[in-house]
Structure 1
Amino acid sequence: TPNGKLDRRALPAPAFESAQTFVAPEGEVETALAGIWAEVLGLPRVGRSDNFFELGGDSILSLQIVARARAAGWLLTPRQLFERQTLAELAAMAAPVAHDADAGNAVPTGIVPLLPIQADFFAMPMARRHHWNQSVLLDCRDGFDTGALAAALGDLVVHHDALRLRFVEASGVWQQTYADEETCADLLWVRETATETERLAHCEAAQRSLDLARGPLLRAVALRTGDRWQLLLAIHHLVVDGVSWRVLIEDLHAAYRARLNGEAAALPARTASYQRWAEALRDSAARRGEEIPHWQALAQFDASLPADEAAGSLTIANRASVTLTLPADLTQSLLQRAPAAYRTRVNDLLLTALARALFAWTGREDVLVDLESHGRVAGVDDSLDLSRTVGWFTTMFPVALDGSGEIGTAIRTVKEQLRAVPGEGIGFGLLRRWGTPAQQSALAAVPKPEVVFNYLGQFNASFAEGAAWRPAAEGAQAAGGTQDPAAPLSHPLSVSGQVLGGELQLTLAFSQNRHRTATIERLAGALRAELEAVVRHCTSGAVGLTPSDFPLAGLTQARLDALCLDAARVQDLYPLSPMQSGMLFHSVFAPEGSAYTNQLRVDIDGLDPARFVAAWQAVLARHDSLRCGFLHRGDQPLQWVAKDVALPVIEADFTGRAAEDVDRLAAEQL
């Protein structure tokens, strides 16, 4: 002011930077994790304030992050990545890997309890259970040394215990046990073909060659057609899933390179066995009784879909599919831009689009969908590291999704419906399999959805640019029939999504005896339109918060909306501690008081103002409490944390001024 006093009202308000501002990683851990994130997500760089899920990360990729961090010497868990989603927050949780971290992961033997998904498989009527596989067909640029490849396949079976599982039926009860470690002969077939017909015939034979009781449950075929080499890997679905393939291909290639060089394979340390996970799941079922009301509430919904032929059979032989592809630019927007708008994950947005398309088709606001998940969830036994464990972990559970209303409302509603699922859905299968008779009876009343959804993530992230082994361009159909034609379809409609070559592919599989192709093509067109609309909405400046963003606050959507928070600025929101509540009460009713203001005055010789301010800015960035604001209107006071805040600084020259002037300035700051 003209009289030399500081006008506090004229000071600029704290400036909040965009969450997209790049801030370079700091320190060894952040630098290492930034490199891992960039590699897995296919990005040129990652900053310390970047959010994993807003960059296109998903629960499947989180397992790759954990596995690669472990290989780099840092121990993390998927739960930590979900709870600490920025690079800096996650790095603060990382601990060095102990040298004996794999000491408890000895080679398992004996009986393994069937997981719920495996028990469901054996409950389906099926004549030829040995023919129900997953497979990958790879183009192999440099051909093969078949001796080295055979040895590498043996290394793979020795290292991953699930590949040694066997299944035997006795008195109508199926049991899985481990075979001897040495049982890995005749895994590789080598075939030369002159025509596509011959090549496909060898693939078909391999798909039918597995034996549940005697093994093997893995078959590899090295195929040579002219100058082109391909590798078919067919594994029975009972012992593999989508996450497992990423680990298996990486390890097989590493073992092959080692054998090619005349060396023994040195694969990453074993993680927890499939057996230990199965036992942990069985034990956890008894602790999930409080989840029953959530699942029982789903019994009220209609799970059926419209059908062209209501009694049409559902078998693999009648299976057809319609695939829609999202171009690379829209896929990139979906993965790396759209999630930030409503703090969603990619799965939330895909399911919102599906719910809206199904709402338009069925006319029902709430549609019941079976949701598949990779199944490696936290909260069962967090001492078990499953980041590189192979097996069939899949969980399947029903969710009711409401895609009605305008797009923003639908996104928030679906997001909250998914967050409300207890324990990431794993309890539904556990209680059906190992619950009390009363619990099993309660869940039996929940109707089975006629549509299942599964997002498999970014498979291209598993293959480096220019890699010697890459997925064959022809796709899955070139690998032969993975399932017996007489086997039943699990659902009348299956929607699966995967990112391949930077493009999202959504495949709608159905029985031609139940639905006409034209019907599913119309549904696919509606799904594509809804997905494009969701991406446009989320990348056009829309933002929104939901109660699950701030679980500690315990707010309803209406109460949260009433706070009128700037979604782009808020990092977190939670209640005050009792001591803080008392301080806030006195500060609100005595705003001129300074009893709770601390002031530190220091004389510093040789101060560099710019570096001094930068140092304090770094402190602000590190400590959430220094970026807090307080909301005291309403039933409960809350504190909110800003994502970024610029330090308000006053720089004044008191050269030649009296000491009393400095004292006066200090007093005015209280």
Structure 2
Amino acid sequence: GFRIELSEIEAQLLELDSVKEAVVTTVKDASDQDVLIAYVIADSETADLKESLKRTLPEYMVPPWIISLDQFPMTANGKVDLKALPAPNMEADQTAYEAPRDEVETLLCAIWADVLGVSQVGIHDHFFFLGGDSIKGIQMASRLTQEGWKLDMKLLFQYPTIAELRPYIEEADQMTADQSPVEGEVILTPIQRWFFERNFSSQHHWNQSVMLHAPKSLNEAIVKQVLEQLMIHHDALRLIYPLEEGRIIQRHRGVEENNVAVDVIEVKGELTQQIQQVEKLANEVQASISLTEGPLVKPAIFRTEQGDHLLLAVHHLVIDGVSWRIFLEDFMALYEQSKRGEVLTLPEKTHSFQEYAQRLTEYAVSDDLLAERAYWKKVLSHSVTPLQKNHVTEDQRMLHTQTIRFTLSEEETHSLLTGVHEAYHTDINDILLIALGLSMKEWTGEDRHLIHLEGHGREEILPAVNVSRTIGWFTSMYPVLLDMSHADDLSYQIKHLKEELRHIPNKGIGYGILKYLTPDKMKGDIAFDVTPDISFNYLGQFDEQIGGGELNRSAWHAGQSLSPESEKPHALDIVGFVEQSMLHVTISYHHLEFEEHTMEQFKDLLEKNVKVLISHCVSQDETQITPSDVGDDDLTMDELEKLMDIF
């Protein structure tokens, strides 16, 4: 624990106009740890006092309990009788439910409950301890914008309760995005340039896909109508990529060309035969997209005795994980509207992918971005030992890819999404990356590894540009050094890597912009030639995506999203996601490079280390803060710990 100057907390309380008298002491909790408690004679609600203290004191110095009294018990000597002060209810939850106090807090509580999938949210509940992550934060901010309010997403990490956030919620600007169909060319974004730079053998067959199941027959006319309406509303879904004068152009198809063919295929035979037949047919659909001709959205309905299976294949150039959430939510809404015979309507568009790409090129020469050059130069200067493989091969085709996986139990996943983060104020990405680093150290014997980290790429770096409901490929991909040289002290290692991740500017989005959009003469001689062997991507939680109505996720295989002839970009691709309340981690590798037993060993290490971190974090009795928690970018971990010893 920390030695804390109680008089400093008392002084800050007495600075508040509504506080007449204050005394701060400590009591023992159930685990015999000292816990702060404040007693006040005041005109304000204690919750308001706590919020006021958070503005002047670090979180660890804000008492969990503030008890309001009419008068203090006194000793014969005229001092406050500490022994006679009423004890707090130690069994009570320190974040006991407190109802919203105005219409905005009421709205926020409802949105949080819906997005996070919990029954009730109070104004002191912590967004990330309830299972939130940055992707759910985007969904929350999008819903808020639709209701006429706005929130800077960075503030959610700084003020993760509704009571703390409330002063920063503002009325949304009346300036809305242009609602007419977008036409013309679009500048290629960094991740799209990465795609074309790789020059994959089969660029046309590089999709993301979803398979849905309807126990009853789907109406193909409605599916067609809904998809065409979606493609009018979400302009990026109408993009094509013709080659003109040796250059790939990104251009919108006109709305008048917006014709979607919905293939309906009858599938008969034994159940096993039907499943195999659907997979074979789905492969053909997945391989049929043309980048030059379009459309880049390919649907197919497979009609079986067990109901209909709807394949939705979309080329990755125009969609990503966050975009799928928007796509499916809108698809379900429009499908229900059409069935009821209603006019098809969606919430207003946010700014277009075209406008976003244009503004990104302007940002590429801004002082804000150029200030990141020193950081990225330092990251790229680290020399790391290349990943050792069992075999060397020139054949990098996807057809040699094998995937292994592990799944956590619902209980373990619940801990990972919620309780784990109280110990060090981490998020799920921190924990999974620390587990990856520990596993790499055990597997290879090396302390340091460079990986490609993928993020959603929707960081709020462009003023007055809102893409919370915009479909497109926004993904950011950037190098991250996993330095595990402190692994012998797990607590310190967690704090160390958490701080390293917090120091990445704007969640890494600037790396791709610097590499692909900033003019060479302004790059500051950075050598962008580092190609990590490992990529990591946490996709978030998918349980809320599909369900309700007559459509649910199909258990049948949706076919090959990526062409077997295409090259594998990384030696290892590690992907995490939560579905059906369980964390699933997949590891894709090249079986001409790695033996199966080698990858099974790595997978077992990764699963073990995720569980070790869960166990370690939930067993901690107190929260340990790091410099990023107190908003000081210049403070080192060692300096902070020395400061703690002073209090």
TM bucket (normalised to shorter chain) is 0.7 to 0.9
Specify the code of the residue in structure 1 equivalent to 2:567.
P
After superposition, the C-alpha distances for 1:163-202 in whole angstroms (9 at most, x for unaligned) are 0111122343212011101222133211211122332232
Give, in whole Å, the separation in 2 of the partners of 1:157 and 1:104.
Answer: 16
2:572 corresponding residue in structure 1: 493
1:544 corresponding residue in structure 2: 624
Specify the code of the residue in structure 2 equivalent to 1:170.
E
Q: 1:19 to 1:486 in 2, by over 3 A?
A: farther
The answer to whether the aligner puts 1:429 opposite 2:429 as a matched pair is no
Q: 1:483 to 1:553 in 2, by over 3 A?
A: closer
Q: List aligned pairs for 1:153-302, cutoff 5 A.
A: 153-194=227-268, 195-287=274-366, 288-298=369-379, 299-302=381-384
Deviation at 1:220, TM superposition (A): 0.9
Deviation at 1:389, TM superposition (A): 0.5
1:529 corresponding residue in structure 2: 608
The answer to whether the aligner puts 1:54 opposite 2:129 as a matched pair is yes
Q: List aligned pairs for 1:21-420, cutoff 5 A.
A: 21-97=96-172, 100-194=174-268, 195-287=274-366, 288-298=369-379, 299-302=381-384, 304-311=386-393, 313-379=395-461, 381-403=462-484, 404-420=487-503
Question: Contact 2:415–2:614 (CA<8 Å) still a contact in 1?
Answer: yes
Question: Contact 2:178–2:349 (CA<8 Å) still a contact in 1?
Answer: no
Q: Secondary structure at the match of 1:119?
A: helix
Give, in whole Å, the separation in 1 of the partners of 2:522 and 2:564.
Answer: 35
Specify the code of the residue in structure 2 equivalent to 1:501.
Q
2:637 corresponding residue in structure 1: 557
Give, in whole Å, the separation in 2 of the partners of 1:245 and 1:527.
Answer: 28
The answer to whether the aligner puts 1:7 opposite 2:86 as a matched pair is no
Question: Contact 1:314–1:492 (CA<8 Å) still a contact in 2?
Answer: no
Specify the code of the residue in structure 2 equivalent to 1:544.
Q
Give, in whole Å, the separation in 2 of the partners of 1:133 and 1:441.
Answer: 35
Deviation at 1:38, TM superposition (A): 1.5
Q: Which moved more, 1:185-194 or 1:351-360?
A: 185-194
Q: Secondary structure at the match of 1:81?
A: helix
Q: 1:153 to 1:161 in 2, by over 3 A?
A: same
Deviation at 1:487, TM superposition (A): 0.6
Question: Contact 1:219–1:234 (CA<8 Å) still a contact in 2?
Answer: yes
Give, in whole Å, the separation in 2 of the partners of 1:557 and 1:259.
Answer: 57
Deviation at 1:14, TM superposition (A): 10
Question: Contact 1:371–1:397 (CA<8 Å) still a contact in 2?
Answer: yes
Deviation at 1:365, TM superposition (A): 1.3
Question: Contact 1:223–1:229 (CA<8 Å) still a contact in 2?
Answer: yes
After superposition, the C-alpha distances for 1:15-62 in whole angstroms (9 at most, x for unaligned) are 798653332332222122112111211212111111112222111111
Give, in whole Å, the separation in 2 of the partners of 1:167 and 1:3.
Answer: 86
Question: Contact 1:292–1:439 (CA<8 Å) still a contact in 2?
Answer: no
Give, in whole Å, the separation in 1 of the partners of 2:200 and 2:508.
Answer: 27
Deviation at 1:359, TM superposition (A): 1.1
After superposition, the C-alpha distances for 1:79-108 in whole angstroms (9 at most, x for unaligned) are 33233311222233333456x553545432
Q: 1:419 to 1:446 in 2, by over 3 A?
A: farther
Pick aligned residue for 1:506 from 558, 579, 585: 585
Q: 1:48 to 1:324 in 2, by over 3 A?
A: same
Question: Contact 2:361–2:518 (CA<8 Å) still a contact in 1?
Answer: no
Give, in whole Å, the separation in 2 of the partners of 1:81 and 1:187.
Answer: 43
After superposition, the C-alpha distances for 1:409-433 in whole angstroms (9 at most, x for unaligned) are 2211111111111121111111111
Give, in whole Å, the separation in 2 of the partners of 1:31 and 1:232.
Answer: 39
Q: 1:11 to 1:182 in 2, by over 3 A?
A: farther
Question: Contact 2:453–2:479 (CA<8 Å) still a contact in 1?
Answer: yes
Q: Secondary structure at the match of 1:129?
A: coil
Deviation at 1:2, TM superposition (A): 6.4
Specify the code of the residue in structure 1 equivalent to 2:160.
Q
TM-score using structure 1 length? 0.80
2:554 corresponding residue in structure 1: 472
Give, in whole Å, the separation in 1 of the partners of 2:127 and 2:414.
Answer: 14
Give, in whole Å, the separation in 1 of the partners of 2:152 and 2:514.
Answer: 25
Q: 1:436 to 1:70 in 2, by over 3 A?
A: closer
* Percent of paired sites with the same residue: 33
Give, in whole Å, the separation in 1 of the partners of 2:86 and 2:396.
Answer: 64
The answer to whether the aligner puts 1:484 opposite 2:557 as a matched pair is no
Q: 1:14 to 1:488 in 2, by over 3 A?
A: farther
Q: Secondary structure at the match of 1:111?
A: coil
Question: Contact 2:451–2:532 (CA<8 Å) still a contact in 1?
Answer: yes
Deviation at 1:213, TM superposition (A): 1.5
Deviation at 1:268, TM superposition (A): 0.9
Give, in whole Å, the separation in 2 of the partners of 1:262 and 1:29.
Answer: 34
Q: 1:402 to 1:174 in 2, by over 3 A?
A: same
Mark the runs of 5 or more structure 1 residues left unpaired by the alignment.
566-632, 635-670
Specify the code of the residue in structure 1 equivalent to 2:403.
S
Q: 1:59 to 1:552 in 2, by over 3 A?
A: same
Q: 1:87 to 1:142 in 2, by over 3 A?
A: farther
After superposition, the C-alpha distances for 1:626-663 in whole angstroms (9 at most, x for unaligned) are xxxxxxx69xxxxxxxxxxxxxxxxxxxxxxxxxxxxx
Give the total of aligned pairs. 561
Give, in whole Å, the separation in 2 of the partners of 1:4 and 1:436.
Answer: 76
Question: Contact 2:141–2:153 (CA<8 Å) still a contact in 1?
Answer: yes
After superposition, the C-alpha distances for 1:586-606 in whole angstroms (9 at most, x for unaligned) are xxxxxxxxxxxxxxxxxxxxx
After superposition, the C-alpha distances for 1:443-480 in whole angstroms (9 at most, x for unaligned) are 4355211000000000112235x453222234xxx001
Q: 1:340 to 1:312 in 2, by over 3 A?
A: farther
Question: Contact 1:187–1:218 (CA<8 Å) still a contact in 2?
Answer: no
Give, in whole Å, the separation in 2 of the partners of 1:3 and 1:356.
Answer: 60
After superposition, the C-alpha distances for 1:289-347 in whole angstroms (9 at most, x for unaligned) are 22122112232221621100133532211111111101110000000110111111110
After superposition, the C-alpha distances for 1:502-546 in whole angstroms (9 at most, x for unaligned) are 000000001111111211111010000000000001111253111
Deviation at 1:239, TM superposition (A): 0.2
Q: List aligned pairs for 1:609-624, cutoff 5 A.
A: none
After superposition, the C-alpha distances for 1:129-150 in whole angstroms (9 at most, x for unaligned) are 1111000011224431221111
Give, in whole Å, the separation in 1 of the partners of 2:566 and 2:183.
Answer: 31
Q: 1:165 to 1:326 in 2, by over 3 A?
A: same
Give, in whole Å, the separation in 2 of the partners of 1:329 and 1:297.
Answer: 40
Question: Contact 2:75–2:81 (CA<8 Å) still a contact in 1?
Answer: no
Give, in whole Å, the separation in 1 of the partners of 2:239 and 2:255.
Answer: 10
Give, in whole Å, the separation in 2 of the partners of 1:480 and 1:247.
Answer: 22
Give, in whole Å, the separation in 1 of the partners of 2:107 and 2:171.
Answer: 12
Specify the code of the residue in structure 2 equivalent to 1:562.
K
